[in-house]
């Protein structure tokens, strides 16, 4: 459960606030924008059994309905071998083992919020017609990896505006992604719900700036020519120990 900056203040939760918790501000490049749509509470529900996820969402909605409106709901699903709707494996750069906790969970850098995590979410809508019109070798240049085997291109052959070149901000600045594809054939709304946990939100901001503004400016992530961010919100996920203190 993630709590937004405004909700933290409104609910008069304990001070000091998490050091990097704030209201997310849009990041605007020359062509594409990481919009800021806000939100007070974010629930991330995962289950291998869809019935469990639905029942949990229904219970939360019933409990919250007198005081809050559900403004965004995305029901994701596993697509083949952890691929996005675009057909490429998603989350290849995710940390593994003990590194997941190191990059996703706050430690002594903010003792009052130890065990918590920053959460950033975006709902992306893909233009699949334009994407599928691209030959596979051109799609691979956009992503920076092979489509069939998920092998990263060498630095010499990888385009500077590829997704893997700009979304990766360094081995010392990683995040843990839990992205999920979603799709509705009738409405032609196909996309990716970007879910990102990090021990420092500044890492997420750096990644977004490289993608939307570019590195250098103007050299934006070319995946954005086929993927439009329609939401963007930041939250802080408290640990169970912190929640116990809040309830007291």
Q: What is the pLDDT of residue 221?
A: 98
Q: End-to-end alpha-carbon separation of the chain, Å?
A: 18
Render pLDDT for 163-185 as a digit per residue (tens, 0 to 9). 999 998 888 899 999 999 999 99
The average pLDDT across 222-227 equals 98
- Residue 248, pLDDT > 80, answer no
User: CA 72, CA 184: separation in Å to the nearest integer?
Assistant: 15
Q: What is the pLDDT of residue 189?
A: 94
Q: Of 6, 12, 40, 90, which is the active-site residue? A: 90
Render pLDDT for 29-87 as a digit per residue (tens, 0 to 9). 999 999 999 999 999 999 999 999 999 999 999 999 999 999 999 999 999 999 999 99
Residues 6+ apart with CB under 8 A from 214: 29, 30, 161, 166, 220, 221
Burial of 206 per CB tally in 10 Å (0-12, 13-18, 19+): middle
In the block, which residue shows the tokens 């893997």?
164
Q: Please say if 90 is a catalytic residue.
A: yes
């Amino acid at each position: 459960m993630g709590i937004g900056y405004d909700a933290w203040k409104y609910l008069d939760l304990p001070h000091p606030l998490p050091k990097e918790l704030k209201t997310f501000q849009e990041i605007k490049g020359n062509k594409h924008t990481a919009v800021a749509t806000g939100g007070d509470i974010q629930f991330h529900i995962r289950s291998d059994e869809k019935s469990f996820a639905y029942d949990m969402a229904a219970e939360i909605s019933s409990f919250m309905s007198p005081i809050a409106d559900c403004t965004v709901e995305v029901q994701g699903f596993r697509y083949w071998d952890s691929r996005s709707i675009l057909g490429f494996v998603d989350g290849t750069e995710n940390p593994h083992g003990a590194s997941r906790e190191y990059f996703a969970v706050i430690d002594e850098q903010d003792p009052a919020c130890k065990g918590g995590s920053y959460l950033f979410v975006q709902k992306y809508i893909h233009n699949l017609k334009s994407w599928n019109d691209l030959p596979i070798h051109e799609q691979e240049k956009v992503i920076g990896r092979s489509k069939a085997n998920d092998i990263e291109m060498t630095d010499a052959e990888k385009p500077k505006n590829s997704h893997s070149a700009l979304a990766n901000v360094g081995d010392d600045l990683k995040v843990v992604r839990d992205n999920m594809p979603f799709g509705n054939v009738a409405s032609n709304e196909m996309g990716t719900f970007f879910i990102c946990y990090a021990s420092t939100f500044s890492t997420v901001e750096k990644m977004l700036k490289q993608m939307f503004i570019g590195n250098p400016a103007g050299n934006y992530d070319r995946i954005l020519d086929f993927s439009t961010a329609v939401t963007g919100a930041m939250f802080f996920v408290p640990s169970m120990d912190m929640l116990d203190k809040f309830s007291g």
